[in-house]
Amino acid sequence: MAMIGILGGMGPLATVDFMERVIDLTSSAGALRDQQHLPLLVVHLPHIPDRSDALLGTGESPLPALLRGIDMLNRNDVELIVIPCNSAHHWYDAMCAESRAPIIHIAEASVAALPAEVTRVAVMATGGTFHCGLYQRMLAARGFESVEPDETTQQHIDACIRDVKAGKIGASTEHMARALDWFARQGAEAGILGCTELPLATQQMDAPPIPMIDSTLELARATVSYALSHGWNRAQ
């Protein structure tokens, strides 16, 4: 039986949100009963060192723990790996080198979802992801201009992420609203929610001032598309 391996726990709510998106998308694709859904094997490792701290030079590298997670999935013969954490993709090449299965890149899936008519794209992510330039490089390579947060706006984004991790969704939404208002005033035509906590904050918003690319949703779409194309929604 082909299985999708999820290297999760970064953070816990984001992992559950990703799984719900996969289930919803599979239902939308026609799944009517248990046997038409996708087999998932989740390695939930919340004790992996903070990825953003490592990228900012204030914490230990998460790579050894990430590779242990990859090894767990290897030993269970998964045929695809997905990681619902943007910051972890700074170590994408190192993880791919150890993985027996292909790994979908969350940032590539997210940037690919941007409308062609958009030029200026707001980058919203952890301080570490922003610092390492993960999204800025991909956007530039595809002809988009990054709108980067100022210090105050990045503080709101970081606070939003911390609140989601602490289960304070209401407070996180307030920080997200302030960040989005700032980006809209800078002329951003769209934004990338480049941290899988951020979509949880925007779900309570009535009308964000700019269109959002949800990295959790785009990773889920890429996952379901890959799995359905391989017939993994059929019992084997």
pLDDT in tens, 32-67: 999 999 999 999 999 999 999 999 999 999 999 999
- Whether 93 and 118 share a structural domain: no
Nearest alpha carbon to residue 38 among 53, 49, 24: 24
The total of structural domains in the chain comes to 2
**Greatest Cα-to-Cα distance within the chain, rounded to the nearest angstrom:** 53
The beta-strand segments (E) located in the chain are 4-8, 40-44, 80-82, 120-124, 145-147, 190-193, 212-214
Q: What is the rounded distance in angstroms from the CA atom of residue 160 to the CA atom of residue 166?
A: 10
- Whether 95 and 142 share a structural domain: no
CB 128 within 8 A of CB 195: no
Q: Any idea what the CATH number is for the domain that residue 112 is in? A: 3.40.50.1860
* 236 occurs within a structural domain: no
Q: What is the rounded distance in angstroms from the CA atom of residue 111 to the CA atom of residue 149?
A: 18
Q: For residue 62, how far is the Cα from the chain centroid?
A: 17
Q: What is the rounded distance in angstroms from the CA atom of residue 160 to the CA atom of residue 182?
A: 15
Count of CB atoms situated within 10 Å of the CB of 233 = 17
Identify the band that residue 236 occupies on the pLDDT scale cut at 50, 70 and 90: low
- Specify the pLDDT at position 2: 93
What is the CB-side half-sphere exposure of residue 178 using CA atoms within 13 A? 15
* 234 occurs within a structural domain: no
* 35 occurs within a structural domain: yes
pLDDT per residue as tens digits for the range 192-227 = 999 999 999 998 888 899 999 999 999 999 999 999
**CA-angle at 179, arms to 161 and 22, nearest 5°:** 50
Question: What is the enclosing helix (H) or strand (E) of 145?
Answer: strand 145-147
pTM of the model: 0.97
Beta pairing class for 145-147 and 120-124: parallel
Q: What is the rounded distance in angstroms from the CA atom of residue 87 to the CA atom of residue 166?
A: 18
- Whether 196 and 223 share a structural domain: no
CB 55 within 8 A of CB 128: yes
pLDDT per residue as tens digits for the range 94-122 = 999 999 999 999 999 999 999 999 999 99
* 195 occurs within a structural domain: yes
- Whether 58 and 128 share a structural domain: no
- Phi, psi values for residue 51, rounded to 5°: -70, -40
Q: What is the rounded distance in angstroms from the CA atom of residue 71 to the CA atom of residue 94?
A: 12
Paired strand residues for 43: 7
Which whole number is the average pLDDT over 154-161?
98
> Which residues make Cβ contacts (< 8 Å) with residue 121, sequence separation at least 6?
114, 139, 144, 145, 146, 147, 188, 189, 190, 191, 192
Q: For residue 82, what are the domain limits?
A: 4-105+218-229
